[in-house]
Structure 1
Amino acid sequence: MTSTQPGTVPLDVIDLDRVLRVVEECGAAATLEVFREAVLDSLRRHLGYRHVTFFVGASLPGVFLDSAPVAAGRARRMLPSYVEYFHQLDPFALACRRRPSAGPAPIPMSACVGARAAEHDDYLDRFLFRHGIYDKVLVPLRSRAGACAGIGLLAENSGAFTAHDLAIVSALAPHLANLFALHVRTASPRPPGWARLTPRQRQTARMAAQGASNEQIATALHVTVDTVKKHLTAAYAALGCTRRSQLAALWNDLGGGTCQ
């Protein structure tokens, strides 16, 4: 798998034209959902990336909690098991937690291999390799409102994503991030139940939707884990959720930072 850092390979006129074609087509999307689908289609037709995912979250680590991502190619068949279980073992999530303020630079699999925990071997062996995927790149997108997205590029061959590929997606990522930000700013308003929550309940729900554990929330807010659980129970009841993944999905639909 390549260890070359992105941006080290110069792009020629043909490369830049392909990038601009993707940006132009994605820029015509009217809604966030249409934009996500346009990204998948344009990446396939203009750059040849057939197996692609598009996750949205209120933070970069929270992207991996998206319960309704979109995908193309072989990745579409992989979504149910990922959302149900394997998102917990994803080494890319660990890489994002270790660099929470990461910019748009793509994260290749080689950047995760040395840092992954033992349980991440299950993600590779039982998830990626089992589905015939041997290389992956994550392209993070971040809006000024705080919401984030992650575009996953998957390949059937080890080392498929070369320095040239990383340079291309490095050039593309800032433009897609800007378009993503436009859609986030026009996201849905706050849900009716939000007004019934206390400021502390809202803060707890926001942190949970962004991927924080009960223990992490308790530490940050200087309360007990039982208090966190009570706040989450109140948030679930007010917002019509029954579990964390639904709360995260609601947060994604609202553009993350729009609910304060």
Structure 2
Amino acid sequence: MAVADYRRLVGVLEAVDRATDLREFQERLVRALQRWFGYAGIAVLHGGTLYEAVGSGCGVQGGYSPRFLADYAAHWAESDPFRTERACRLLTAAGVVTLDEVAQDREYAERFLRPYGITGKAGMVIDGGPAGVLYVGMAVRDTPQVSVRDLAVLRTLRRHLAPLAVEQLARHREQTASRSEWRLTPREWEVARLAAQGLTNQRIADRLFIGVDTVKKHLSRALEATGCASRVELAARWRRWERPGGVRNAAATADIHST
């Protein structure tokens, strides 16, 4: 790799190595990839398996417009080539793959991505074994596809990110086990967490790549399961849970805004 590529590699690693939890790690990784690689859109998702991470995983995104996210959730999520078993097999084998490698036709690229100016995508996976899986999706504009040079740097970056990501995934898994009394699915938990932080239903939908109606359904279930009558009560209970003696510190991580 060239000196500039090593600089990008170190820049990303320095950005994420002091993250205090998985959420902050994901958010820092989004910002670092935007800064050092200039990607137009990024999603960093996690799940118990790769198929779960790319198909319904929780995480953060940056660089995508609300219109893009709404269109994706309403019409294209089920057609996303990276959410197929074929893509999961290729990702598991190679670690980093491009849209051209996983897509069996050009419909998704031509009818959905290109109208938004996106000309190529790549996916990267970090498998933490029992701790879970981290998936990173990246989109480019103004170039035909993710460059061969970028792919080489991403493969090297993946190896160096792995121990940091696995540590965060393992810690997150422990935290999840400790809150089993809430009896929420991972998606319901994520919606409840964001609602407790004050995000609107639309902002939550944008963050999680789901529709507003789906947010409402998950939030209703979370309120029922936790015995809370309102979002205000849910936020108050969340703050009590986050105080010293709970699973984590009360400092909430920053939101990643769509642009």
**Structure-2-length-normalised TM-score:** 0.62
Is this contact kept in 2: 1:64–1:87, CA < 8 A?
A: no
Structure 2 unaligned regions, length at least 5? 187-220, 227-259
Equivalenced residue count is 185
Give the match for residue 15 of structure 1: 5
> After the TM superposition, which residues 7-156 of structure 1 pair with which residues of structure 2 at under 5 Å, given as runs?
11-66=1-56, 68-74=58-64, 77-94=67-84, 95-99=86-90, 101-102=92-93, 105-113=95-103, 115=104, 121=107, 123-156=108-141
Distance 1:128 1:111, change over 3 A: same
> In the alignment, is residue 178 of structure 1 matched against residue 178 of structure 2?
no
CA RMSD of aligned residues (A): 3.0
1:110-135 Cα distance to aligned partner (Å, 9 max, x none): 2123x35xxx72x3344312322120
* Pair 1:29–1:77, CA change in 2 (3 A): farther
Conserved 8 A contact 1:27-1:179: yes
Paired letter, 2:20: A
SS at match of 1:69: strand
Mapped contact 1:145–1:181 kept (Cα < 8 A): no
Change in CA separation of 1:156 and 1:98 when aligned onto 2, cut-off 3 Å: same
Which structure is richer in relative contact order (CA contacts within 8 A, separation 6 or more)?
A: 1
Q: Deviations over 1:162-197 (max 9, x none)?
A: 110101111111222321111111111421277xxx
Which residue of structure 2 aligns with residue 258 of structure 1?
none
Contact 1:54 1:149 in 2 (8 A): yes
CA distance in structure 1 between the aligned counterparts of 2:19 and 2:67, rounded to whole angstroms: 25
Identity among equivalent positions (%) equals: 23
Would you identify which runs of 4 or more consecutive aligned residues in structure 1 move more than 6 Å? none
Secondary structure class of the residue paired with 1:96: helix
Alpha-carbon distance change, 101 to 136 in structure 1, aligned in 2, over 3 angstroms: closer
- What is the CA–CA distance in structure 1 between the aligned matches of 2:170 and 2:131, rounded to whole Å? 10
Match of residue 192 from structure 1 = 181
